[in-house]
Amino acid sequence: MIKSSPKGLIGHFLVIKDPRKERTKKHKLIDIFVIAICGIISGFETWVDIEEWAILNEKWLKKYLELSNGIPSHDTLGRVFSMINPKIFKKQFLKWVQEIREITDGQVISIDGKTVRRSFDKEKGNKAIHLVNAWCNENQLFLAQEKVYEKSNEITAIPKLLDILDVNGCIITMDAMGYQREIAKKIIEKKADYVLAIKQNQKVFFEDITPYFEDVDIKQHTTKNYDWYQTIEKDHGRIEKRTYCSFSNITWLKNKHSWIGLNSITQVISERTIRNQTSKETRYFISSLPASAKKIGHAIRSHWGIENACHWVLDVTFNEDQSRVRIGHAAENLSLLRKTALNLLKQEKSLSKKSLRIKRLHASQDKNYLAKVMGI
């Protein structure tokens, strides 16, 4: 058993049930978990690489782990994580996240899907796994994941995520996949608010929303039913202007479409200028929030966090899309191990100005820093 006191992340993982038969338990399950997470934090993605990292760092690992039979092989690592029940792993992960997450009123929680692209198995006819993820941009924390078998089934995973998460007082953001009355109803029942994207393929609603903004003049003063907010960003020769316009006088729209909690609609016009070339994009959103263009605009911008700070990082920094792990539950469990490492690295603040890539480099070279990241 781990030699340090069972608290924090490790304390929660200690209670995960070992799926192996007693005679095959050559290595402690918690030892396998800690080795896997430490290896991933240190920059290694495959079971083979993690085994090699552990062999090279066995002396340090023995300060914290029993390792009575040495370092588990890469075959053992892969076999164990292919067997662990993802539901139990997710349950303990969520308990840990709830322990470290700071919940504030109006906090934005973004929900979006991501495919682990190379987790397919043509020989067995298995498609790549698709995970619907929840991310808190304010805390820079990955919160939860739910597996679905097709991207088109994302809407079945969203209510499950909402059921397990504490979203009281939060703002839930989603792209067009969240355009479902039942999802809006679930969010309101959970005492949260929603900001949902409306796209042209939601033809009737889209055509009913757009006329509200046809005669809008942002130079006019804010009225009781109309609010606007504008941001301008300049960076490396790029100028990006975003104009947010929100309406609250939408009784006719609410009566026609029967959306629970619907209080406002928002138009976002994005203008990007690079080398005197300007492109323009217009998007629309519905929300249970009052027509505060600044608040809704913040929620819309925060939604990008799940793409930039979570999905993009998993692919570019953790190389998730290139992972060929696919046996049993291994792909799903390995994705959650990466997100565990992501959370740990994000929460360690002594190198807050460094990139995650640099933090992983420090962890690979400085065991005191790795111990700090792990909280051991």
**pLDDT, tens digit, 9 for 90 and up, residues 50-101:** 999 999 999 999 999 999 999 999 999 999 999 999 999 999 999 999 999 9
Of 143-157, 288-302, 332-346, the poorest mean pLDDT is in 143-157
- Residue 128 has a CB neighbour count (10 Å cut-off) of 16
Task: Determine the distance from the C-alpha atom of residue 367 to the mean position of all C-alpha atoms in its chain, rounded to a whole number.
Answer: 28
Q: Tell me, what's the pLDDT at 197?
A: 93
> Model confidence over 168-209: pLDDT tens digits?
999 999 988 888 899 999 999 999 999 999 988 788 889 999
Question: Confidence class of residue 148 from pLDDT cuts 50, 70 and 90?
Answer: confident
Checking if the pLDDT of 220 tops 60, the result is no
Distances (CA, A) of 90 to 21, 86, 95, 335, 336: 22, 6, 9, 11, 8
Amino acid at 217: D
Region for residue 277 given its phi and psi (left: phi exceeds 0; alpha: psi -120 to 50; beta: otherwise): beta
- Each as own residue / partner, the long-range contacts of residues 4-8 (CB below 8 Å, 24 or more positions apart, any chain) are 4/64, 4/376, 7/375, 8/96, 8/99, 8/100, 8/375
Q: Tell me, what's the pLDDT at 286?
A: 95
Burial class (CB in 10 A: 0-12, 13-18, 19+), 59: exposed
Burial class (CB in 10 A: 0-12, 13-18, 19+), 38: buried
What share of the chain in percent tops pLDDT 90?
A: 65
Question: Confidence class of residue 8 from pLDDT cuts 50, 70 and 90?
Answer: confident
Mean pLDDT, all residues of the chain:
89
Domain 94-316: CATH architecture, name and number where available: Alpha-Beta Complex (3.90)
What is the C-alpha to C-alpha distance for residues 150 and 359, in angstroms, rounded to an integer? 34
Note whether 74 and 50 are within 8 A (CB): yes
Region for residue 275 given its phi and psi (left: phi exceeds 0; alpha: psi -120 to 50; beta: otherwise): left
> Model confidence over 262-319: pLDDT tens digits?
999 999 999 988 888 889 999 999 999 999 999 999 999 999 999 999 999 999 999 8
So where are the chain's domains? 8-85+329-374, 94-316
Question: Confidence class of residue 125 from pLDDT cuts 50, 70 and 90?
Answer: low
Take residue 134 and report the two structure tokens written for it: 């929840």
Amino acid at 177: M
Residues 136-150, mean pLDDT to the nearest whole number:
90
- Residue 149 has a CB neighbour count (10 Å cut-off) of 12
Checking if the pLDDT of 363 tops 50, the result is yes
Take residue 282 and report the two structure tokens written for it: 């217009």
Q: Tell me, what's the pLDDT at 152?
A: 64
Q: Please, how many CA atoms are within 13 Å of residue 240, restricted to the half-sphere of its CB?
A: 8
Model pTM? 0.91
Take residue 47 and report the two structure tokens written for it: 């079971």
Note whether 191 and 168 are within 8 A (CB): yes
Q: Tell me, what's the pLDDT at 183?
A: 93
Q: Tell me, what's the pLDDT at 168?
A: 96
Torsional sign, CA 60, 61, 66, 68: negative
Distances (CA, A) of 169 to 13, 163, 265: 29, 15, 20
Checking if the pLDDT of 1 tops 50, the result is no
Strands 238-247 and 141-148 come out as unpaired
Checking if the pLDDT of 35 tops 80, the result is yes
Sheet hosting strand 193-198, strand order edge to edge: 141-148, 130-136, 108-115, 171-174, 193-198, 277-287, 264-274, 238-247, 226-235
Torsional sign, CA 309, 311, 314, 319: negative
Label residues 349-374 b or e (16+ Cβ within 10 Å = b). eebeeeebeebbebbbeebebbbbbb
> Model confidence over 202-219: pLDDT tens digits?
888 899 998 888 876 655
